[in-house]
Structure 1
Amino acid sequence: MQEEGVLPSKVTIISILNASALYTCLLEGKQWHAQIVALYFESDVVVGTALIHMYGKCKSLTTARLIYDMIPNKDTFFCTAMLAAYAHYGEIDEAFAIFDEMLSRGIEPDNVSCISILSACVNKTGLDDGRLMHMRSIFCGLDQDARVLSGLINMYGKYGSLEDAIRTLEVSSWRRKDMYLSALSACANQPDLVEGRRVHTHVVEIGIELEVPVGNALINMYSKCGILQEARAVFEKLPEQDIVSWTVMITSHAQHGQGAYALYLFDLMQLKGINPNKVTYTNILNAFTHAGMVDEGFQYFGYICQGQSSIQPLVDHYNVMVDLLGKAGRLNEAEDLIKKMPFPETVCTWTSMLDACRSHLDVERGERLAEHAFRMRPSDRAPHIMMHNIYASIARSDDGANSLYRSKDGTS
């Protein structure tokens, strides 16, 4: 374009900068930054916003900040671009400083400003920073924004502050399904039956109890709280159940030692024309491992391996079965299964077996398997660490130290 004497427009430049941000092409972004300077667009707040976004995505926060400080006529989008870049990399103090600067300049933050900081609090910085952001959102009048509310509920739920999460939900003027789903997920993760029932009351009041995603969240919450009778009641009340509904029900009953009922549900699901997927099988096998139900686990595994299922067995399914057999002390069968695997062994395969050797004090087998793992994956430290744990369990600390030494220097 420029070779033909046509200068790029501001819209073109912004589009290119956004593409550079998307693909983190810092070199190309810098080249266009030079063009922006040559075209006297550098003081334009819209172009500046795109530059900050690009440099932020490319982890060049220092340059982004130089641009931020250089442009005097800041607006909400411009400031939020800088704030979001800081928040993305966990620079929470700097993000708060930008937010507070916006308030002092009379620039109104928007929901993206709040959500950027809340996301950083969830992923990197913690509950205290989240509470500070909540107070700022109230001050700005953004605490009733639907997206901010969802972010607050998710943040409180992540850190187990369920009372705060549900209080935030209750004072909201919104009745959005995603907010209740976030609250129910938090109650399940704790698990907290009292707060979960409190949310259940609200979803009944607003008439969304029978919607499948909400019903699934309720089933999951009651299952995680160990109240299978109420999980069943919700399940049976749903006008329709999807694969998630069935998977949660089957998995939860298996985890609580009710293998026969889990198998019954599995058969019933297929009779109703719902075929299990690979996630269903993995979750169910993990549940039987958790409950120590080897025979039931083999029955499900057989469905896959004998072609009775619409899916092919995956390495994850084999690894779960190795773990199940190992935990049950059936190490010969676990080792035989590894030999029959139609896939290369993974780190998970060896850590499961070596952990079983540690639990059942089978040092000789552990040493043999670890040596094989060393040869297969010489750069993998996991077998060395597992052997250290095996030796430590029988007080052979010198051997454990030697194993760790080999792990650090790369020898075997």
Structure 2
Amino acid sequence: MFPRLKSDWKSLALLEGCRRRSLRELKQIHAHLLVSGGIADPYAATKLLSSFVAFDLHHAILVFRRLHHPPSTFLWNTLIGAHTDRNQSVAALSLYSQMLYSGRLPNNYTFSFLLRCCVALPSLFVGRQLHSQVVLLGWEHYDFVQNGLIHLYASCGCVASAHELFNLSPHRDVVTWTAVVHGYVKSGQIDAAKEMFGKMPERNAVSWSTMITAYSHVGMFREALDAFSEMQLAGIQPNHAGFVGALSACGFLGALEQGKWIHAMAERMGVKMDRILGTALIDMYAKCGCIEAAKQVFDAMLERDVFAYTAMISGFSNHGNSENAIDLFGRMEEEGVKPNEVTFICVLSACSRMGLVDLGKLFFAKMSSSPYRMEPGVEHYGCLVDLLGRAGLIEEARNVVREMPVEPDCYVLGALLNACRVHGKLGEGKETVESLVELGLDHSGVHVLLSNMYASSYRWEEVRNARKVMEQNEVRKLPGCSMIEVDNVAFEFVAGDIFHPHMEEIFLAVLKGMDQQLKSFGDEDKLEDSHSHSH
């Protein structure tokens, strides 16, 4: 054992509470250990390096490189773990390589860090190499190593391998089950994920939020909110991801009251209002028609990224506040937040609604110029065609379609067809429909637009022909749908829908509301009658 001076004991005592001290104080202790020679003590060096990891990773690496003795596995793990926690996966794997070259063997903790790195990258190739080393060194029976391997294969889409490891695992905890459920979700096998989730002997907030998020991503919004309610009935408090998934579902369903309740619940639980949760709230309020509430959330956010700005710009644009959307885009640029492809779609739509042709063209050109240098996609060309078409510049819109570097889709040609309908350009509209038919994009909306175009010009023979083509090609018009929220529950109605099991309750609730309203009108009439008789 290395001899320790009295001053070294004092330094070590100070190191014990170093996490509560500043980086400057920690460097002073380091300097004292260097001068006194105490840095040669492996215990002192280990404590010092572990302390620096919490403050300054770069300084920790300098201490590590200047150690007077070969670093232990614990020190290697400390550095590898610190890089993993900071999402520096490549650096962590590089340190592992250096560890092997130094002759130091990894342990179960090393592999738990490294498998997380492979998930973050993601890298199935490196993960499989690590798996072979785990088996070779005999660490495969440790729970968190098994969970790491299952999570690796599940995250990389190898659900069969993940399930095989799951079946071989003697100690399956909630983390193991959730990893497999996550794998099925990520591979798009929602039914398999739901079945696996139903078999879980125990569920935590992470497993519940995995299913809530999965339902929201695949458009099963009612199921997402049902799962959110079931989680609370089970006595599990939602986590951050659970709130985000539920709010997303509320936005798509238009369930405003339920969305407000979830927002209030998050505030009551003290859930941090970060950029992800803030964006989900902005999106929910905007889609539910409460643009002012969305703006309040946006203004209250301490940090705003491109997704928060895009959600707010989209909300303004969809609510007819195009001027606010365009102003916010300018503010976004001033604050140095780089817009993405979706942001440009939203701001181009705002220009289209206001008829700002020159400004819309400017935004479209800005995409591919410095500093953004984005290649406009088919969606952006669709917005440009819609912008020109609404302004009556049909020929210019047709030229855009002809000169597009990508093949036009139904949205681009649909925008052109709609412009032809609005401005009575029957010939150009018919040519557009023929182009859609050639591309196999002649869905019901195209034929209905053409039929309406002929009807607006009183060309009834062409209307009948258009309808006949629909019948011959067995093209069916998709029924319209609407939604109503009763007692914080959203119900969807489709034209020609069969009787809903809760339809009677819904109609009774609506009729009750109508009856109360009529009674209030009747009371007002009585008051007016009594007032007139008194005179």
Normalising by structure 1, we get a TM-score of 0.59
Work out which of the residue numbers 110, 122, 125 in structure 1 matches 2:177: 110
Alignment of 1:206-285 (within 5 A): 206-285=269-348
In the TM superposition, residue 364 of structure 1 has moved relative to its aligned partner by: 1.3
Work out which of the residue numbers 366, 374, 385 in structure 2 matches 1:322: 385
CA contact 2:316–2:322 (8 Å) conserved in 1 = yes
Structure 2 residue aligned with 1:305:
365
Structure 1 residue aligned with 2:355:
294
Distance 1:384 1:224 in 2: 27
Q: Tell me: CA distance 1:383–1:366, structure 2 relative to 1, closer, same or farther (3 Å).
A: farther
Distance 1:233 1:390 in 2: 39
Work out which of the residue numbers 182, 189, 194 in structure 1 matches 2:252: 189
Letter of the 1:305 partner, please give it.
A
Larger Rg: 2
Structure 2 residue aligned with 1:89:
none
Residues 228-284 of structure 1: CA deviation (Å, up to 9, x unaligned): 221111111111111111111111111101111112211111111112222210233
Structure 1 residue aligned with 2:439:
380
Residues 1:150 and 2:217 aligned together: no
Letter of the 1:247 partner, please give it.
T
Q: Tell me: CA distance 1:298–1:256, structure 2 relative to 1, closer, same or farther (3 Å).
A: farther
Cα-Cα RMSD: 4.6
Q: Tell me: CA distance 1:225–1:303, structure 2 relative to 1, closer, same or farther (3 Å).
A: same
Letter of the 2:288 partner, please give it.
C
Letter of the 1:380 partner, please give it.
L
Distance 2:370 2:199 in 1: 57
CA contact 2:209–2:238 (8 Å) conserved in 1 = no
CA contact 1:354–1:383 (8 Å) conserved in 2 = no
In the TM superposition, residue 173 of structure 1 has moved relative to its aligned partner by: 3.3
Distance 2:214 2:286 in 1: 23
Total equivalences in the alignment: 307
In the TM superposition, residue 390 of structure 1 has moved relative to its aligned partner by: 5.3
Identity rate, percent: 24
Structure 1 residue aligned with 2:53:
none
In the TM superposition, residue 202 of structure 1 has moved relative to its aligned partner by: 2.3
Q: Tell me: CA distance 1:119–1:268, structure 2 relative to 1, closer, same or farther (3 Å).
A: closer
Residues 145-201 of structure 1: CA deviation (Å, up to 9, x unaligned): x44312332366524246523323434535531111111111111121111112112
Letter of the 1:299 partner, please give it.
L
CA contact 2:430–2:450 (8 Å) conserved in 1 = no
Distance 1:80 1:345 in 2: 46
Distance 2:310 2:362 in 1: 18
Structure 1 residue aligned with 2:408:
346
Structure 2 residue aligned with 1:167:
229
Q: Tell me: CA distance 1:166–1:390, structure 2 relative to 1, closer, same or farther (3 Å).
A: closer
- The higher relative CO (CA closer than 8 Å, separation ≥ 6) is in 1
Distance 1:404 1:350 in 2: 22
Q: Tell me: CA distance 1:381–1:135, structure 2 relative to 1, closer, same or farther (3 Å).
A: closer
Structure 1 spans left out of the alignment, 5+ residues: 1-21, 24-49, 59-63, 65-75, 82-106
CA contact 1:193–1:222 (8 Å) conserved in 2 = yes
SS in 1 for 2:222: coil
Distance 2:296 2:347 in 1: 21
Distance 1:183 1:403 in 2: 40
Q: Tell me: CA distance 1:167–1:322, structure 2 relative to 1, closer, same or farther (3 Å).
A: same
SS in 1 for 2:430: helix
